[in-house]
Structure 1
């Protein structure tokens, strides 16, 4: 089968023929129909992210995967061949979470293996390209909003970074009833997209009056929650300056840079909080699939383009350059 594999020592990405895997006990094999291209994949390729538990020097990338079950391992009965599914972005083994496409082979391939309990059925009318992005581009902001951020209806909320995850955060915040929703991004096209996805106000982070404008739109109180999807130190400083009393800063974007709070006394006096966030739990995928099935949310605007698997490197390059301002690029084997 065809697979896009990364050598984590040389950081070379190669699309090549490899043996088709056979499912072992407790596993299923899916015929991949769509696989998302994420900034995490870019970070693996450029070396800013490295696998923690990879047993070899090479791995098939891709943690956003959807397709059809085409083979079952021994004793697997809860899943049926022919079933349309998406795959959780990782699996737990002896208390340790392994990430698909990072610590073990992912879905940038014609076939992928998965533990049977990480398979999530999807509705027949949900296109595979949209289903594939749910396990990260959608589930990560959904978990950040509902679990880590604990956003409640009518709370004013801000989103810094309206890219692949942040744009979905805007859409999901509107779904849960946050109001107003403020989106901050340096790119005009990203700000326009945030408006289209449901933001009430969009701002350029270079605007010197940004904190004041946030307080104006929130009746003087500031934000109950601010989500950093950019992973940039300056963003976090700016977001803190916009928080209300008891407001919480939720860190979703990843960075190795230190977190600095300039006015620590005020931060403590107003009892503000910093909350770290990573990924999502299995129930978040189930919730999102149910919301899609009941027509509460739609991801038809989220897939910017679909490319054949053989052009995986081109998809990565386009994402690095932000060519066409993509929400999500998807590979199709």
Structure 2
């Protein structure tokens, strides 16, 4: 049996190690993909620190990595339409028995030399899109894209706020600009994150602690407030502040994950203004192909999103840098 290197998380001890494991063999309906690039996400950090646990994993060890791009190495015995060498990006998960299973969480992911994938989760990748940029489309880009276009249903010329300008939030800014939102107001306590938001296309970047915060939002929106607000931080103070900045009938979309209670301080005012709070998670199958087409057509640019590329052996270092925000990374990519 052929073997390969993989970064494996042992869940009982929450330890990560690069190990030699058996290289998987594709069965019916499956494709073996040679991994060329795999993104490192805050979800990976949370799997290591114990704040996130798999729901459907069989066993106690998993290869991390849900943002994966590479080339087809070997199609399964009944797979048609995919030939060895084809460039692909993988969906971050799939439906199994009516439940969403996430790659690199509920089953082995792409922090490895090879990854096994159901053929239906492969998306063709044009030669013009580098593997490093393509790898982060599932989740880092597709999650905010789905939040903006589906859950948030943002329309052109709507005023929108983005709380948290990290990996997902920074992409949300770029995507909001692409769909014609105006103005786009980014909110983050970190000066570096605010500068990044402006580089990604925000019209205004504010510190949430600014004593004139609400006045500045109203000034940027003609005194009306935000039609939509997106929380990518996942902390209660964001919910509270975002609701104060919403226009009548505005909606707050919760993208950042949190186990903290969700409260509305002024229930009567919330009802009077007809505000809405919407939960959001991940993306659907059509969102990744949409983003690939937009990037291929020059409508989106992910070159600024890749903060560093590290070898697979440095997976633990990549996680540490994402957790501590050393160097203010948007996305770090592993190359097996």
TM-score range with shorter-chain normalisation? over 0.9
Mapped partners of 1:195, 1:84: distance in 2: 33
Could you tell me how far apart the structure 2 residues matched to 1:266 and 1:323 are? 41
Match of 1:129 among 111, 128, 132: 132
Pairing 1:162–2:187 present: no
| CA shift digits 1:5-51 (9 cap, x unpaired) | 00111101011111111011100010000000000000000000000
**Unmatched 5+ residue regions in structure 2?**
none
Equivalences, count = 333
Q: TM-score, normalised by structure 1?
A: 0.99
Alignment of 1:110-121 (within 5 A): 110-121=113-124
Instruction: Calculate the aligned-residue CA RMSD, in Å.
Output: 0.6
Output the CA distance in 2 between the equivalents of 1:56 and 1:208.
Answer: 51
Match among 149, 153, 157 for residue 152 of structure 2 = 149
**Residue 194 of structure 1 corresponds to which residue in structure 2?**
197
Instruction: Note if contact 1:78-1:116 (Cα within 8 Å) is conserved in structure 2.
Output: no
Whole-angstrom distance in 2 between the partners of 1:281 and 1:16: 32
The question of whether the paired residues in 2 share the 8 Å contact of 1:142 and 1:284 is answered with yes
Matches of 2:75 and 2:125 in 1, distance apart? 18
Bigger shift: residues 139-148 or 79-88: 79-88
Taking the aligned partners of 1:265 and 1:81, their CA distance within structure 2 comes to: 61
Alignment equivalent of 1:44, drawn from 39, 44, 47:
47
Moved over 4 A (4+): none
Structure 2 Cα separation of the partners of residues 272 and 318 of structure 1: 37
Aligned to 1:301, what secondary structure does the other structure show?
Answer: helix
- Does 1:18 find its partner at 2:21? yes
For residue 252 of structure 1, what is the aligned residue in structure 2? 255
Q: CA deviation at 1:125?
A: 1.3
Matched, 1:183 2:186: yes
TM-score normalised by the chain length of structure 2: 0.98
Deviations 1:136-193 (A, max 9, x none): 1000000000000000000000000000000000000000000000000000000000
Q: CA deviation at 1:78?
A: 2.4
